[in-house]
Structure 1
Amino acid sequence: MTATYQDLRGKSVFITGGGSGIGAFLTEGFLAQGAQVAFVQRSDSSAFCDEMEAKHGNRPLFIQCDITDIAALKAAIAQSAEAHGDIDVLVNNAANDKRHEAGEVDEEFYDWMMAINLKAYFFACQAVAEGMKAKGGGSIINFSSISYMMGNAGYPLYTTANSGINGMTRSLAREFGPDKIRVNAIAPGWVLTDKQKEMWVTPEALEAHLARQCLKDTLAPEDIVGATLFLASESSKMMTGQAMVVDGGVVVTG
């Protein structure tokens, strides 16, 4: 942990996909700041919660949930609010970048990809808005990806959803702003999670990607935590409607 955000201590934080990959590091990052964290995950994350409690003396609330089930997602957010108070920080992190080609997409797969990568984000934002308004503000952080900025092939529905997240973030920032609710996006580069290493990282692909980066180190999940904590905290209180890129310098914004 390289920075301490005193205003995050005791804050009610809700994270989707907070038990694995980048999400697990986000959960730990907020716990280390003294926040009260709830997260949803499809798989059993009880052992992870045990580990976090032993390490930080601060146990996260794990709620097993498939975020494509919107009713279950809303119920999980309500359960989190009951346990920790209305949500101060929402992190929409869960996603699925399953590889596919345009010609093999059918309606069922299209709907599933949009459900997990875009629809759930919107309804989570909707579900926390009233509670944030009642508390006098809050921070929503939507995870996107640089994939759509690069125009990558190999997962066109994923890049479509990523681009949609950016548009949704800007519109909700405008709509929620009068209630002091900030809405920002984070667009990571190629973060080498265990899933990425198992499924898609090859020496050739990694070498080609590093050649595009200004910084020649690979990105690890913990490299995304600092930017998330910053956007969650009052240190970024006048930032909203923005997309923060954390990719080692592949894409250029502005």
Structure 2
Amino acid sequence: MAQVSVSHPDLADRGVLVTGGGSGIGAALVEGFATQGAQVAFIDIADDVSRNLAARLTEKSRHPVFYVKADLRNIEEAKAAANEAARRLGSMSVLVNNAGWDDRHELEAVTEEYWDNSQAINLKQMFFVSQAIVPHLRKAGGGAIVNFSSIAYLLNMGEMPAYTTAKAGIIGLTKSLAGKLGPENIRVNAILPGMIVTERQKELWLKEENIAAMVARQCLKRVLVAEDLVGPCLFLASTASAAMTAQTIVIDGGAL
């Protein structure tokens, strides 16, 4: 894994929770915060990869890395997991709402059940995890929430209407929470990744021609990977962005 070259000393020893942290982008973020010396916990539903990640990072990190298992679609379970993470860490200063499900789906095939499930994974849980963590951020005297959206809703992509609706909604949620929590020194910003090529993406959706087409569209002529999102996320979580809230950062290699 590529290492982030910039150090954020203020993140050392701070409590950080990452949702969907067991693999892909989430795992890169968990490792990025652990490398900064933060106290890190993450929520995921995939047991084996999450346990392995926590064990691997605990061996080489300043603090143990905690894994809390939960199905974030179940709101009571999600809130309980968030509070359990805060209990294990002792305090909480940063929440990274990364968990999501970018399933492709045709307009005609979407049922009410499918729609509700997509919103539950991609948007609903993000609000309720934030709601559970905000009291801990207040107790810490402030902090940062980083929400992961996507450029997908800006690209007129026809093959994922439920997903793109949720990702657009995340921007509205980000701005509303920023307005509410700013007076309490809690900043809320969002990251919009472009095509981030992970093993899961390659297994399920991305073919070489899809990747080549996006790279051709980008200003930066290389494949974007999960580690490309670590630096921006650390920046938004740290005091380097102390005056920044209600904003979005696009990390897409210049595709837009």
TM-score range, shorter chain: over 0.9
TM-score w.r.t. structure 1 length? Answer: 0.96
SS of equivalent residue, structure 1 residue 3: coil
The within-5 A match list for 1:100-111 is 100-111=105-116
Number of residue equivalences: 251
Shift of 1:85: 2.4
1:70 to 75, 99, 107: 75
Deviations 1:145-184 (A, max 9, x none): 0000112121111100000000110111011110011000
The within-5 A match list for 1:142-221 is 142-221=147-226
1:10 matched to 2:33? The reply is no
Distance 1:55 1:99 in 2: 37
Structure 1: tracts of 5 or more residues without a match: none
- The range that moved more, 192-201 or 51-60, is 51-60
Shift of 1:42: 0.5
- The range that moved more, 195-204 or 116-125, is 195-204
SS of equivalent residue, structure 1 residue 118: helix
Match of 1:117 in 2: 122
Match of 1:130 in 2: 135
Code of the aligned partner of 1:121: M
Code of the aligned partner of 2:96: V
1:223 to 225, 228, 241: 228
Structure 2: tracts of 5 or more residues without a match: none
The answer to whether the Cα contact below 8 Å between 2:8 and 2:36 also exists between their aligned partners in 1 is yes
Q: Structure 1 vs Structure 2: percent identity of aligned residues?
A: 47
Deviations 1:5-50 (A, max 9, x none): 1100010101101110100010000000111111111011211111
Code of the aligned partner of 2:119: M
Distance 2:60 2:28 in 1: 13
Distance 2:91 2:60 in 1: 26
Shift of 1:71: 0.7
1:25 matched to 2:49? The reply is no
Distance 1:86 1:175 in 2: 21
Distance 1:119 1:86 in 2: 24
Distance 1:33 1:108 in 2: 41
The answer to whether the Cα contact below 8 Å between 2:107 and 2:161 also exists between their aligned partners in 1 is yes
Match of 1:39 in 2: 42
TM-score w.r.t. structure 2 length? Answer: 0.96
C-alpha RMSD over aligned residues: 1.0
Distance 1:87 1:124 in 2: 13
Shift of 1:57: 4.9
SS of equivalent residue, structure 1 residue 37: strand
Distance 2:143 2:67 in 1: 22
